[in-house]
């Protein structure tokens, strides 16, 4: 995990009711199930879950093709479901687990939703907005801070994507 120090004793999130890091693998497993469902539907295999008080309250998988919607990324869909479950657009006290480092749109949506923690699996070499291409969550001008931890079950997350795009290049579907 690459960004673990942000959750240390000096973190502004230390008192937030967030899942302990020992649970990160378990929750990423839930996100991986969503990603597998996306792949089965011949969508890019990215999955996400929002966790609140130890329970998944929002699930999402990429559905851009199915919904013909460029914003139907796994993270956005999971946050929408979680907001409905809580009855509030603010996802304070929640954690978002996603199999791929979010793009700028999804990282921005997570910041706007006031998520205190985002945990991701594989780095996103093309559009990663937390570490790989830019550091959106670390911009000091924002009025909200979001801790982020990368690399959780990264090999599994990356393998799903690599397999999907390899099959696509060979003209195969899910």
Residue located via tokens 């937030």: 16
User: Coil, strand or helix: which one is 148?
Assistant: strand
Take residue 114 and report the two structure tokens written for it: 């006031």
CB neighbours of residue 77 within 10 Å = 22
CA 130 to chain CA centroid, nearest Å: 11
Alpha carbons 162 and 82: distance in angstroms, whole number: 29
Q: Write down the catalytic residue from 34, 75, 81, 101.
A: 75
Residue 139: exposure state from Cβ atoms within 10 A (0-12, 13-18, ≥19): exposed
22 catalytic residue (yes or no) = no
d(CA 24, CA 95) in angstroms, rounded, equals: 10
What residues act catalytically? Answer: 75
């Amino acid at each position: 995990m690459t960004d673990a120090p942000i959750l240390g004793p000096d973190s502004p999130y230390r008192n937030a009711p967030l899942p302990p890091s020992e649970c990160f693998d378990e929750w990423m497993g839930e996100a991986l199930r969503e990603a597998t469902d996306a792949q089965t539907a011949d969508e890019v295999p990215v999955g996400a879950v929002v966790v609140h008080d130890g329970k998944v309250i929002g699930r999402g998988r990429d559905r851009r093709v199915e919904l013909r919607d460029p914003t139907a990324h796994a993270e956005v869909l999971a946050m929408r479901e979680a907001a409905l479950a809580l009855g509030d657009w603010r996802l304070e006290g929640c954690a978002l687990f996603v199999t791929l480092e979010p793009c700028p749109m999804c990282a921005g949506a997570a910041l706007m939703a006031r998520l205190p923690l985002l945990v991701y699996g594989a780095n996103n070499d093309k559009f990663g907005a937390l570490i790989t291409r830019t550091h959106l969550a670390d911009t000091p001008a924002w009025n909200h801070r979001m801790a982020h931890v990368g690399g959780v079950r990264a090999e599994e997350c990356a393998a799903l994507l690599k397999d999907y795009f390899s099959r696509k290049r060979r003209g195969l579907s899910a």
